[in-house]
Structure 1
Amino acid sequence: MALITISGYPSSGKTHRALQLKTFLESKLSEPDYISAGGRKFKVVIVSDDSVGIKKQDYDNARTEKPARQTLFTTLQRLMAPDTLLIIDSLNYIKGFRYQMYCAAREMKVRVSTVYVVATAEKCREWNKERREKTEKSYSDETFENLLMRYEEPSSMVRWDSPLFTVPWIDEDIPGEDIWKAITEGVIKPPNAGTQAVAKAPTDALRTLETITTSMVSSIMSEQSLSSSSSSITIYLPSAPDVKVHLKLPPRNITLSELQRIKRQFVTVHKKAITLGTTEKGAVDWSEESVARKFKDYVEENLKP
């Protein structure tokens, strides 16, 4: 249903605001006059650093921070759903990461919004030190200052941060009604070429591609030597003898070098789709039979007189 990104300085009160928001949204969902689309029962879920096992120390250096962010992103991808109000309670201080989450939301066709928790740097330092004195989880002074310096403030002028709701530390509560309206009535932006998932080939696709094309080249040469006058041959796949591929050949002898050249071209073209993925609509079939039929069409096209 929606992805709500919480962003702010370290120790600025993001978790407090996330809990306030969760309480508010659950109260709205429980109102008797609220009717959900399609009769779905919605739920509110918070994904935080703590909930996915990210420690404050993970932000000490890029070597540990990068996999921590990936863990957070993988979790939100798994939990994002049409019946879920997903709140991401983390630093989310890098605009590129916020854009990545925005793209994932567009792919899932859910609404988005950003809550910017604002507190002065001095106030955040004070709260971080108080946590340390209480033996609570806190950032080291060096990491804290580094995060402050690197923080990229959300902007309502960019699509991945909007609609943007700013909550100063002096406010008692969040702008719940405005957020509710944004995530229930806002426009759901459809996925585009930049946000669509790329269909990946199975792990054995390269092996299948090479094995089937090599086998078919050998079979074509063998069949041609046995029936040189025939313009049509039938090829059986060694791993699938019940699959037959009928191939039309021109009225001349086909040399091995010709077939090898065609095979190399075919494999090169399809290797790119396997390694980089494809944005073709629907599932891409990399089965042995499918590869064999594609290669058969490719051979016929390139051997036309």
Structure 2
Amino acid sequence: MALITIAGFPASGKSSRAHQLKAALDARIQGHDAPFKRVAILDDNALGLSRACYDESKLEKPARAALFTAIQRQLAPDTVLIVDSLNYIKGFRYQIYCAAREMKLRTCTMFVVANPELCRQWNSSRQDGNAYAEQTLDNLLVRFEEPSSMVRWDAPLFTVTSDDDDVPAAQIWEAITKGNLKPPNSGTLAVAKAPADALHVLEQTTTALASAIMSASAAQPTGGLTIVATSSGIKASITLPARHITLSELQRLKRQFVTVHKKAITLGTTERGGVDWSEESVANKFVEYVQEHL
């Protein structure tokens, strides 16, 4: 039900802060009637990604793709997911944010702050084999894109410095339980597709109605005329102008109407499910189209 993104310089103590935050949130889940069942940490080590993957862009891109895939897989309504990775690119943080919004989850960012010299010192003192190469560390420090509370994908933003004893667990808990729950972006919503027989219904209904309109017009060729066209039990009313209607004119209007709606069907652009492809709906739309253009 929540996603917490941790950002900061490499070797700035992000993993330590992530585990501090997990312990604090676990304690709150045990002591409260919380909407979450568990807190999970997703980091590079869990995916088998070594620090060497940041040495070259051709290695970093697939590693980042693997991380994003794992994030999507672990996002769940009953889980607080803490993403403990570099997350130094604002475009990647935005991508994570959009994935969380699509799942209707609350989000926040924790920015772990440490000066570059301290990061170099901590990196060189690591004995677990997870140290960055010196050149890679310098490159990542230069490329780091600092999160900002002014942009929606980093907000709300909580900052933790190297001098802080603990993380702001209370404020983060408030954000992930009571913060604004933003709806998914409209661009990420699945577009409702037309039914499989939509093309058949469109063609058959318009053909039958064009014939019915022509027959009624021939029976009463003069003056304004209101008819009820019946085709397969479908009725539609139309008012024709006080002039002779030709067959070629009706066929042209039918072709135009079918072409426009066929494109909507084949491309899947059905007004996000707002189009009703039943025979009755198609008939009403067609007679409105004919009446308007006549």
Is this a same-fold pair by TM over 0.5? yes
SS at match of 2:153: coil
Q: Which runs of 4+ in 1 moved over 6 A?
A: 221-228
- 8 Å CA contact 1:13–1:117 kept in 2: the answer is yes
Alpha-carbon distance in structure 2 between the residues aligned to 1:200 and 1:55: 39
1:232 is matched with: 229
- 8 Å CA contact 2:90–2:145 kept in 1: the answer is yes
1:187 is matched with: 179
CA deviations on 1:147-185 (whole Å, 9 max, x unpaired) are 22221112334443333322233444323334334434x
2:137 is matched with: 144
2:222 is matched with: none
Offset of residue 69 of structure 1? 3.8
Alpha-carbon distance in structure 2 between the residues aligned to 1:224 and 1:196: 41
Indicate the larger mover: 118-127 or 15-24. 118-127
Distance 1:51-1:233 versus aligned 2 partners, 3 A rule = farther
Offset of residue 110 of structure 1? 3.9
2:16 is matched with: 16
Q: What residue ranges of structure 1 are gaps of 5+ in the alignment?
A: 236-243
Alpha-carbon distance in structure 1 between the residues aligned to 2:41 and 2:201: 49
Q: Which amino acid aligns with 1:199?
A: A
1:6 is matched with: 6
Distance 1:51-1:188 versus aligned 2 partners, 3 A rule = same
Distance 1:224-1:140 versus aligned 2 partners, 3 A rule = farther
Distance 1:112-1:209 versus aligned 2 partners, 3 A rule = same
Q: Which amino acid aligns with 2:191?
A: K
Distance 1:297-1:94 versus aligned 2 partners, 3 A rule = farther
1:238 is matched with: none
Q: What residue ranges of structure 2 are gaps of 5+ in the alignment?
A: 220-226
| Pair 1:35-2:33 in alignment | yes
1:301 is matched with: 288
Offset of residue 103 of structure 1? 4.3
Offset of residue 111 of structure 1? 3.5
Aligned residues: 278
Q: Superposed, which structure 2 residues align to 1:117-196 within 5 Å?
A: 117-131=112-126, 134=128, 136-184=129-177, 186-191=178-183, 194=185
Offset of residue 259 of structure 1? 1.2
Alpha-carbon distance in structure 2 between the residues aligned to 1:52 and 1:285: 42
Distance 1:247-1:17 versus aligned 2 partners, 3 A rule = same
TM-score by length of 2: 0.72
Offset of residue 260 of structure 1? 1.0
Q: Which amino acid aligns with 2:202?
A: T
- 8 Å CA contact 2:206–2:286 kept in 1: the answer is no
Q: Which amino acid aligns with 2:38?
A: K
1:241 is matched with: none
Offset of residue 219 of structure 1? 5.3
CA deviations on 1:77-131 (whole Å, 9 max, x unpaired) are 4443443222111111122333343444455554432211122223333444455
Alpha-carbon distance in structure 1 between the residues aligned to 2:61 and 2:200: 38
Distance 1:300-1:224 versus aligned 2 partners, 3 A rule = closer
Which of residues 165, 190, 212 is equivalent to 1:199?
A: 190
Q: Superposed, which structure 2 residues align to 1:58-73 within 5 Å?
A: 58-62=53-57, 65-66=60-61, 68-73=63-68
Distance 1:301-1:73 versus aligned 2 partners, 3 A rule = farther
Overall identity of the aligned pairs, in %: 38
CA deviations on 1:193-249 (whole Å, 9 max, x unpaired) are x467423244xx5976555534555555677899976952425xxxxxxxx755557
Alpha-carbon distance in structure 1 between the residues aligned to 2:70 and 2:3: 13
